Structure 1
Amino acid sequence: MALAIDLSDRVALVTGGSRGIGRGIAEVLLEAGATVVTCGRSEAEPPGGATHVTCDVRDPDAVRGMVEGVVARHGRLDVLVNNAGGAPYALSADASPRFHDKIVGLNLMATLTCAQAANAVMQQQEGGGAIVNISSVSGVRPSPGTAAYGAAKAGVDSLTGSLAQEWGPRVRVNAVDVGLVRTADTADHYGGDATVAEIERTIPLGRMADVAEIGRVVAFLASDLASYVSGASVACHGGGEQPVFLYIAQQSNGEAL
């Protein structure tokens, strides 16, 4: 029997879904047939077929209003993708307490805030729902320069398991631990295409992910194909990061990676 992801009867909300990884996720959910709503702090043009609403996901009242608006317009909310997040580079010794508070607020507390609002709807509707939290490999290894972000993402992985136990059986909660992903800003972020190519040589699969590849993992977790998957943190990182000592040793010996 052929397997296919069919979300044609689902309503999905993707936070931070108008650009980057979030946009890629929204596009895949649309391809799977879902009705998709994206949100962000400002007006934006969502992928074709989606609608966009403005919301500061750190504001509980705004989040509740957003979720109520989605349900009022579409009748239900089946999938929440907590994608909004990120952090600029800042060494921990130099960053202010306010900076750290904002990073943790966006990457961890906003995830919980949105999940609470979605769960309140999903628990009451036929079929329940699925929540997918976009986490990061930064949460499972040291994250120098983005320490508060890494700590927040470690919290997201822990939160995922706790919510899965609290909110089952009606609501499944999973996370995707995302590695390096190519977006429109990748070359600028890492200092050019040559540097990006060198970084990609350290990844076992030989390249960074495409945003659609993250989207397909999300679509699977949101679908009935993952009906017995809850509380999982799924690694999507191309095989992981090679130890630095091994990379240096191979480079010194002239060995191919």
Structure 2
Amino acid sequence: MAEIDEETGPAMERELRDAGHDALFIHTNVRDADSVEALVAGTVEHFGRLDVMVANAGGMFQAPALDISKRGFEAVIDLNLIGTWLCNTAAARAMIEGGSGGSIINMSSQNALYGALNGPHYGAAKAGILGLTRSVAAEWAEHGIRVNAVAPGGRTARAGAAPREGQLTGGGDPEYVENVAAATVYLASDLASWVTGHTLVVDDGGTFTNAPPRGA
């Protein structure tokens, strides 16, 4: 497991180990190619191979398009899109070398599908992830590597957001953590062995009911 926060990462590792799992935390900055390569190398060294990569690091700041500087725009692209690219290529190299294929899951957003007020840089980065996902899925298929994306919508229930107009169910916020996690696990599993180049939208129907776009 990769994390830039040197307090959160070890705590997560301990929690998983206490639950009986073989967990490994590696401090990682996805904006740095050497750091990402070290993550993959450390994972392969510990577990013997790399089966799954979930590229879910991301973030943004909210601002109107005309108030975003070139530097600010590039920072969001660097973290979200280029960071995802670095994780994908590092993982693919290890999977190809391992010879057993694998599954790569990229975290996009509903904002990639219909934009976001005060977040054009984020929407652009997340839309880029969808294009990247489809492109490398086609390129790496011959190696048995599946590449898919998950596009969550809305805000997490744990962040205290209330359900909004346009949701189809009353069971909580569309980006409820467990639902996004379940979608990710599905794409990583053999149940999705015939699924690649696909974007799985997890937004409680917000996309096709034209729910108003929200921030990250």
TM-score normalised by the chain length of structure 1: 0.73
Aligned-pair distance for 1:48? 1.9
Distance 1:171 1:244 in 2: 34
Alignment of 1:82-161 (within 5 A): 82-161=55-134
Shift of 1:52: 1.8
Query: How many correspondences in the alignment?
Result: 198
Are 1:48 and 2:26 matched, yes or no?
no
Match of 2:167 in 1: 203
Aligned to 1:215: 181
Which of 145, 148, 154 lines up with 1:180 in the alignment?
A: 154
- Are the equivalent residues in 2 in contact too, given 1:41–1:56 (CA < 8 A)? yes
**Tell me, which stretches of 5 or more residues in structure 1 are unaligned?**
1-37, 188-195, 246-257
Shift of 1:183: 4.9
Q: Is contact 2:157–2:173 with CA below 8 Å preserved after alignment? A: no
* Distance in 1 (alpha carbons) for counterparts of 2:99 and 2:129: 27
Structure-2 change in CA distance of 1:215 and 1:244 (3 Å): closer
1:33 maps to: none
**Compared CA separation, residues 162 and 92, structure 1 to 2 (3 A):** same
Relative to its length, the structure with more strand (as a share) is 1
The residue number in structure 1 matching 2:20 is none
Instruction: Report the TM-score, using the length of structure 2 for normalisation.
Output: 0.86
Rg larger in 1 or in 2?
A: 1
How far did 1:126 drift? 3.8
- Structure 2 unaligned spans of 5+: 18-22
**Quick one: percent identity of the two aligned structures?**
36
Q: Which amino acid aligns with 1:95?
A: I
Distance in 2 between the 1:175 and 1:244 partners? 21
2: CA distance, partners of 1:167 / 1:156: 16
- Deviation of 1:152 after TM superposition, in Å, equals 0.5
Contact 2:26/2:42 (CA < 8 Å) preserved in 1? no
When the two chains are superposed, the root-mean-square deviation of aligned CA atoms in Å is 1.7
Q: Within 2, Cα distance between the matches of 1:163 and 1:125?
A: 18
Structure 1 residue runs of 4+, over 3 Å off? Answer: 241-245
- Secondary structure of the residue that 2:118 maps to in structure 1? coil
Cα distance in 1 for partners of 2:155, 2:99 equals: 36
Residue by residue over 1:188-239, the C-alpha shift from the partner in whole angstroms, topping out at 9 and shown as x without a partner, is xxxxxxxx33x43431223313211111111111111111100001111100
TM-superposed CA distance for 1:99, in Å, is 0.9
Judged with a 3 Å threshold, the aligned counterparts in structure 2 of structure 1 residues 202 and 167 are, in CA distance, closer, same or farther, namely: same
Distance in 1 between residues matched to 2:72 and 2:98, nearest whole Å: 39
Q: Does 1:237 align with 2:203?
A: yes
